Amino acid sequence: MRKSIGLAVLVAALACGGANAQQVTVKVGVLSDMSSLYADIGGPGSTAAAKLAIADFAKDHPNVKVELISGDHQNKPDIGSQLANQWYDVDKVDLIIDTPNSGVALAVSQIAATKNKVFIVSGAAASDLTGPKCNTNTVHWTYDTWMLANGTGKALVKTGGDTWFFLTADYAFGHALERDTMAAVEKNGGKVLGKVRHPLNTNDFSSFLLQAQTSKAKIIGLANAGGDTINSIKAGAEFGIVKGGQKFAGLLVFASDVNALGLQTAQGLTLTETWYWDMNDSNRAWTKRWQAERGAAGKFPTMVQAGVYSGLTHYLKAVAALKSAADGKAVVAQMKQTPTDDPLFGKGTVRADGRKVHPAYLLEVKAPSESKHPGDFYHVRATIPADEAFRPLKEGNCPLVSG
Amino acid sequence: MFEIFGIPSTALFGQLLIGLINGSFYALLSLGLAVIFGMLNIINFSHGAQYMMGAFAAYLILQYSGLGYWPALIIAPILVGFTGILIERFLLQWLYKLDHLYGLLLTFGLALIFEGVARNYFGSAGLPYTVPESLRGGQNLGFMFLPNYRAWVVAASLIVCFGTWFVIERTRLGAYLRAATENPTLVRAFGINVPRMITLTYGFGVALAAFAGVMAAPIYNVSPQMGSELIIVVFAVVVIGGMGSILGAIITGFGLGVIEGLTKVFFPEASNTVIFVIMAIVLLVRPAGLFGRRA
């Protein structure tokens, strides 16, 4: 009798001990362009940012175990889709994050919704992700084409650039950016004189720039990114575009592009971003940690990589609150209910259509003489407050938004 | 001023000139490939990576020794050509007796290695390299603005292409080389060091690629993937021109540059694919290529 009571007490004690270590496990996948023209915009730098987010989160939440993997979508929607399917189905990934390249992002967004997992877009731009293609499992974090169009486009039209010619990358992102910027230009009283679509990853822009010169538009809008933008601006310098009286509008330019162009070629370029490493002490401190984690010399984090850190932090907080990462729709709902707060983007919110809102900054590239240290690229010309920076909720045609 | 298919004639002439300039670039690049395949029967898939190495060498020469564009135009091809010689001596020479495909696989693998190493150290966004002072600015030709640098590219390309063709087709050295590829045993019997000639020829072809890379550095983005983007087009050029023919590669390079330029005006979205459409048509009609020698 005493033996069986003792045995029962022992079993009860063991059962209690087990309940204490209630581990929540989460698996995160950084899906990015690791080897091609967007690799410095997201790429291994995004993986580094994710590692920092996980490390910082673990300090306050020791009972949440986060596993991280990364993969290369090579800018191909079919490869990106195949990886996303494999990660969500076979590798038990709960969250896919980053994904520069709007074509891939749109594909993965559908997959996440079908499988009830979560997808946080930091790298891709197409505003359709929170517009007609919005869904309950996708959050669009750092920036989008509407914000770029209305930031840079509006600013340039107001300062006299009222005729435009577009150089557009011929895929989802280029089309979206061209469409949103055309709308912004026309809304503010400008005119679009013409456009030309070039294949993604084009080397030589001389022919397209000649067409832009012939149009005599005051502003040549570059609706492309990464290597394409760099090649366009380099060719523009050669062909005397700026000397001939026309100006470039870099609709999507990252710090890595300015680094590759050099300040001599890029000076004076106007662009809009939502995060700049040298803007305040908090960003600078984080940049030092990122550079140590990234391990490659002379690189500076882009807003996309900062967005991965910020988005992942908010996601992990939501998972910790729900104590489970299994129901993607519920986690995203939790993310929309909780205001965001992190050292990089400060305070903000995630809207019903999945759009994360924060202020945007109108930046101008410095001349070489004005740059005091490596990475000192921009003047901050204006701050666009969060409620003006992004497309109004009702105008998006998102099925999740009623009315 | 009159209109052709809705495009003003001045704009069209401008586009034709740009097409010619691009064509000279393709000709320069495909020349090295044609030399290596025509003379040595090696399918050099690392040509694009060697072109990239030429551009990177120009950047590094500027960074570490302060020497600018003009010295780099000589030094970079020599350096990269020397690595080509090492590749031939230690890796390629064992594959001559085997099927063409082994050479292709080896050089393809080398290309991936070079690209990966470059991306690891330098990232993929690219490195800054500006047009040299003496070549900045341009001439206003009336129908377009022609940058001095692009005019220099056409001139240099014509000189190098003609020079190479002349050496191979019209000099004794070229004759030895052509004989050595047709019948190495007989040529060796005459006392000519055939293996050394082959090594130097491969090195020369690689140096040509690197030369094109240095010429590209001021105007195209100097990034690790710059070669892989161009190499497919260059292979198409060489195939259309005829794999054995130096002259074929040069003429096709210029011709395709012009056709691509016209496509960019009338149907820009297809400018990537038009070269391959032409390649498919040419191969159907003349399988040996336009100037190819094989029956």
Average pLDDT value over all residues in chain A: 89
Task: Spell out which residues of chain A touch residue B223, defining contact as CB-CB under 8 Å.
Answer: 37, 227, 260
Distance from CA of A323 to the nearest CA of B (A): 39
State whether A39 and B125 contact (CB < 8 Å).
yes
Confidence of residue B135 (pLDDT cuts 50, 70, 90): confident
Nearest to B125 among A197, A198, A256 (CB): A256
Nearest to B264 among A208, A260, A265 (CB): A208
Mean pLDDT of A387-394: 90
pLDDT beyond 80 at A13: no
Q: Taking phi first (over 0 means left), then psi (-120 to 50 degrees means alpha), and beta for anything else, what does residue A295 get?
A: left
Q: Would strands A95-98 and A118-121 be described as parallel, antiparallel, or unpaired?
A: parallel
- Does B243 map to a domain? yes
Confidence of residue A15 (pLDDT cuts 50, 70, 90): low
**Token duo for residue A313:** 């932090």
- Does B134 map to a domain? no
Nearest to B269 among A35, A199, A214 (CB): A199
- Does B291 map to a domain? no
Residues 232-261 of B with CB under 8 A from A: 261
Nearest to A240 among B18, B127, B145 (CB): B145
Model confidence pLDDT, tens digit, residues A188-235: 999 999 999 998 888 889 889 988 988 999 999 999 988 889 889 988
Model confidence pLDDT, tens digit, residues A65-123: 999 999 999 989 999 999 999 999 999 999 999 999 899 999 999 999 999 999 999 99
Count CB neighbours of B250 within 10 A.
28
Q: Which residues contact B188 (CB under 8 A, 6 or more apart)?
A: B194
pLDDT at site A268: 82
CATH code for the domain of B193: 1.10.3470
- Does B32 map to a domain? yes
- Does B290 map to a domain? no
Q: Does A280 touch chain B (CB under 8 A)?
A: no
- Does B139 map to a domain? no
**Structural domain boundaries, residue B45:** 10-129+147-285
Which of A214-218, A299-303, B226-230 comes out lowest in average pLDDT? B226-230
Q: Does A246 touch chain B (CB under 8 A)?
A: no
Mean pLDDT of A319-341: 92
Task: Spell out which residues of chain B touch residue A201, defining contact as CB-CB under 8 Å.
Answer: 229
pTM for this predicted structure:
0.81
Nearest chain A residue to B127, by CA: A260
Highest mean pLDDT of the ranges A261-270, B239-248, B273-282? B273-282
Nearest chain A residue to B150, by CA: A238
Q: Would strands B7-8 and B3-4 be described as parallel, antiparallel, or unpaired?
A: antiparallel
Number of domains in chain B: 1
Task: Spell out which residues of chain B touch residue A203, defining contact as CB-CB under 8 Å.
Answer: 220-221, 226, 229-230
Q: Give the domains, in start order, of chain A with CATH numbers.
A: 24-143+279-358 (3.40.50.2300), 146-273+360-388 (3.40.50.2300)
Residues 146-185 of B with CB under 8 A from A: 147, 149-150
- Looking at residue B44, the DSSP 8-state letter turns out to be -
Whole-number Å distance between alpha carbons of A344 and A280: 9
Q: Does B124 touch chain A (CB under 8 A)?
A: yes
Please say whether the beta carbons of B135 and B73 come within 8 A: no
pLDDT beyond 50 at B94: yes
Task: Spell out which residues of chain A touch residue B59, defining contact as CB-CB under 8 Å.
Answer: none
Nearest to A35 among B124, B127, B221 (CB): B124
Nearest to A244 by CA among A189, A152, A149, A165: A165
State whether B128 and A199 contact (CB < 8 Å).
no
pLDDT beyond 80 at A26: yes
**Token duo for residue B255:** 């011709």
CA dist B202 → A122, A296, B37 (Å): 46, 34, 9
Average pLDDT value over all residues in chain B: 87
Please work out, in degrees rounded to the nearest 5, the angle formed at the alpha carbon of residue A286 by the alpha carbons of A101 and A48: 45
Q: Is the ipTM of this structure higher than 0.85?
A: no
Q: Which residue has the tokens 């519920």?
A: A330
Whole-number Å distance between alpha carbons of A313 and A141: 12
State whether A262 and B128 contact (CB < 8 Å).
yes
Whole-number Å distance between alpha carbons of B41 and B213: 23
Q: Does B19 touch chain A (CB under 8 A)?
A: yes
- Does B138 map to a domain? no
pLDDT at site A19: 45
- Does B2 map to a domain? no
